[in-house]
Amino acid sequence: MTDTAILEIVELNDGEIVLRSAEGEGEPLLRIRFSEEAAELLRQSRFEVAQEMIDHAITRSKLWQEESEEQVLPSTVH
């Protein structure tokens, strides 16, 4: 990938939601697969939940922060 990669979030035919290069080449960077029970509970919101999960991971990741920014964020697992 280049320094300015264009990424997309896509739902595949098997229901798996992936984050991948917009060119669609290579292995996806991230895969989200909901269990049958979770998929049933979420129904049509499944894609939106996956988008929020990815957005949260990217915005809270130290990979996307400047090195000079030393920000400690509490982590909570529900």
Centroid of chain to Cα 23: 17
Distance CA 15, CA 32 (A): 9
Contact (Cβ atoms closer than 8 angstroms) between residue 28 and residue 20: yes
State both tokens at 71: 């920000």
Q: What is the pLDDT of residues 39-75, one digit of tens each?
A: 999 998 999 999 999 988 888 876 556 554 555 566 6
In this prediction the pTM is: 0.67
From 5-9, 10-14, 30-34, 70-74, the region with the lowest mean pLDDT: 70-74
Distance CA 43, CA 23 (A): 28
